[in-house]
Amino acid sequence: MKKPHPAIVALKGISLLIIAALIIFPFLVVVSTSLASKEEVISSGGWVVWPQSISFEAYTTILSGGVVSRATMVSLGITVIGTALSLLATIGMGYALARPHLFAGKPILLMVLLTFLFTPGLIPTYLVVQSLGLIDNYASLILPVLVNAFNLIVLRGFFQGIPEELYEAARIDGAGELRTLWNVALPLSKAAIAVVGLFYAVGYWNSFFSAILYLNDSTRWPLQVVLRQYVLEGSPLAGNVSSAEAMLSSPTSIQMAVVVLAMIPILCVFPFVQRHFTQGVLTGAIKS
């Protein structure tokens, strides 16, 4: 290949710098505003690019046992439990559908693929959740989205990509299907499982519409719904917050602190699964 012209290389570098600045600058403003003092936020018109003095007043306020602290624990619980249950169900279904002689395997796979084209409507889904008695129950945030069709297809393709000789060797050694899954399939599928787990975790952590729809008690709402309340309306949930949380800091710094708090878990998890991301998605897609 010909070596690219220096002007082309420079143009690419400038373009990447501009794109990076467009991504980093809003994030910097959010973090800086959350760390600025109340007086500095007010004097700067509500947004701070670089705080003159760092203040954790906004974080102390939202984490002082009020609605944000409770909502954060709710979101963490839903994310951890939901991701674990979704991975368990998706791995089981993906492995079963990857085996060649599964009874009714093709009709089940066809039903899964049809969900890509025909999603359930909002009203039918709500009626099903209501008929199961899940209104005002955290299970309503997990069970309706327990298995994602895309994630299922990715894992199925990954399990199919494992050489059949390994499965046959396990059967010759007397291993059943569960033992084969545990000792053969899962250790070879860590990349795909990490990616699927990240997809599920991000989905559960960022979900807010289901909580608004199924949880009538606002004290049970997860963090994303509280974040929406802060950012859109500039105020916490009425009747569920202390006077300190409502008055100590400026509304903008409180909003930005909640935004940062909502981003931290995903930012902490993503670097550990990033190296598996491309490998897991591409392998699963190619093999499926």
What contacts 153, CB < 8 A, 6 or more positions away? 112, 113, 284, 288
Q: What is the pLDDT of residue 238?
A: 44
Q: What is the pLDDT of residue 287?
A: 47
Task: Provide the residue type at 145 as one letter.
Answer: V
Q: State how far the Cα of 172 lies from the Cα of 267, in Å rounded to an integer.
A: 44
pLDDT along the chain (288 residues), means of 10: 80 92 89 82 78 81 76 90 94 87 82 81 87 90 89 86 84 83 85 86 89 86 83 54 46 80 80 63 48
Q: CA 281, 200, 222 angle in degrees (round to 5)?
A: 155
Domain boundary at 36, 55, 74, which? 55
Q: State how far the Cα of 94 lies from the Cα of 288, in Å rounded to an integer.
A: 11
Q: Indicate if the alpha-carbon torsion angle 39, 43, 44, 46 is positive or negative.
A: positive
Q: What is the pLDDT of residue 79?
A: 92
Q: What is the pLDDT of residue 246?
A: 46
Domain count across the chain: 2
Residue 133, domain CATH: 1.10.3720.10
Q: Which candidate, 24, 74, 114, 98, places its Cα nearest to that of 288?
A: 98
Do 29 and 135 share a domain, yes or no? no
Q: State how far the Cα of 96 lies from the Cα of 105, in Å rounded to an integer.
A: 8
Do 5 and 111 share a domain, yes or no? no
What does the DSSP 8-state code read for residue 2? P
Q: What is the pLDDT of residue 84?
A: 94
| Cβ atoms of residues 248 and 57 within 8 Å | yes
Q: What is the pLDDT of residue 89?
A: 93
41 is in which domain, residue-wise?
1-55
Q: What are phi and psi of 136, to 5 degrees?
A: 65, 30
Q: What are the structure tokens assigned to 117, written together? A: 């084209």
Q: What are the structure tokens assigned to 249, written together? A: 């800091």
Do 129 and 6 share a domain, yes or no? no
Do 31 and 155 share a domain, yes or no? no
Q: What is the pLDDT of residue 77?
A: 92
Q: Which candidate, 136, 278, 282, places its Cα nearest to that of 213?
A: 136
DSSP codes, 164-232: HHHHHHHHHTT--HHHHIIIIIHHHTHHHHHHHHHHHHHHHHH--HHHHHH---GGG--HHHHHHHHHH
Do 1 and 92 share a domain, yes or no? no
Q: What is the pLDDT of residue 273?
A: 67
- Residue showing tokens 């299970």: 139
Q: What are the structure tokens assigned to 230, written together? A: 């802060």
Do 115 and 24 share a domain, yes or no? no
Do 31 and 172 share a domain, yes or no? no
SS3 of residue 241 by DSSP: coil
Q: State how far the Cα of 122 lies from the Cα of 275, in Å rounded to an integer.
A: 36
Q: What are phi and psi of 224, to 5 degrees?
A: -65, -35
Q: Which candidate, 246, 262, 136, places its Cα nearest to that of 237?
A: 246
Q: What is the pLDDT of residue 188?
A: 84
Do 158 and 97 share a domain, yes or no? yes
pTM for this entry: 0.78
Do 89 and 32 share a domain, yes or no? no
Do 161 and 244 share a domain, yes or no? yes
Q: What is the pLDDT of residue 204?
A: 92
Do 133 and 247 share a domain, yes or no? yes
Q: Which candidate, 82, 80, 104, places its Cα nearest to that of 93?
A: 104
Do 11 and 117 share a domain, yes or no? no
